[in-house]
Amino acid sequence: MLLKDRNALVTGSSRGIGAAIARMLAKEGANVCLVDRKHEAEAFDIQNEIQNMGRKAIAIKADTASFAEAAQVVRSVLKSFGRLDILVNNAGMNWDGVSWKMSEEQWDRVMEVNLKGYFNFTRHTAPLFKEQKYGKIINITSINGLRGKFGQTNYSASKAGIIGYTKAVARELGAFGVNVNAVAPGLIETRMLKESEAREKIIGLALAEIVMKRVGVPEDVANVVAFLASEKARHITGEVIKVDGGQYI
C-alpha cells in the first residue's frame, strides 16, 4: 500500500472525482476525512465504505469557501486522527454564462468556492506540514484553466488561478519537505454528466478532441492523485498533470 497509516483530507468528496479520490486513498492505506457542503447522505456512504476497508473515516459538512469552517475542519481532523499528511483540494462548482451576461454573483461565488476554498484549506494545513516537515498537497484544477472555455470565464479563471497558486505554494513549502502539485482533468464521466440531458452532445464534442477516443472516469484522476500523495512522487512538485486522454495537447 502506497499510503499506509497516512491521514488525508479531501474536499468535495461525497460524489464524482472527490469520492473516487477518497476511496483510492483509503485503498492505498490512508485514513480519510471527507468534506462536503451539500451531499450528507452520500458522504456518510463513502465514510462507511472506507471504514469497511479497515481505515478510519470521518465525514464533515462544511462550506469550503468559509475560512472559519475550514479551520474547524482541520481541528476536527487533528482531534480524530492526531495528524494530517495529505490535503486534496477538490471541491468546486460551475455557474456558466458568457462574459457579457455574467452577474457579479456568478463570478464571486465560483471564485469563492474554486479558488478561495483552496486557499482556506491550504492556509490551515500548511503550518502543520511546515512544522512536521512533511506533507502532500494536491489541487484539482482543469484543462479549461489551461486553455479557457467559451461560456466559462469564471470557471476557467478560477482553475487558472489554482495553477498559479499551486506553483507559488510549491516554491514556499519545498524547503520543508512538502510537495504541492495540481491535476487537470479533461472531460470525466461523473454522475452529473450521466444525468445531463446534453450528455451525448457533450461527449460527442469532447471525443472529437480526445486522442484516446474515450471519456475518462473518476478513477483515472484518483490514480494520479494517489501517486502524487505517495513517496513515489517525492521529487515532483509545482507540476500540473493533465488527465484528459490527450483532449488538450
Residues 6+ apart with CB under 8 A from 16: 188, 190, 191, 192, 218
Q: Which of 118, 134, 155, 165 is catalytic?
A: 155
Would you call 155 a catalytic residue per the annotation? yes
Q: Residues with catalytic annotation?
A: 155
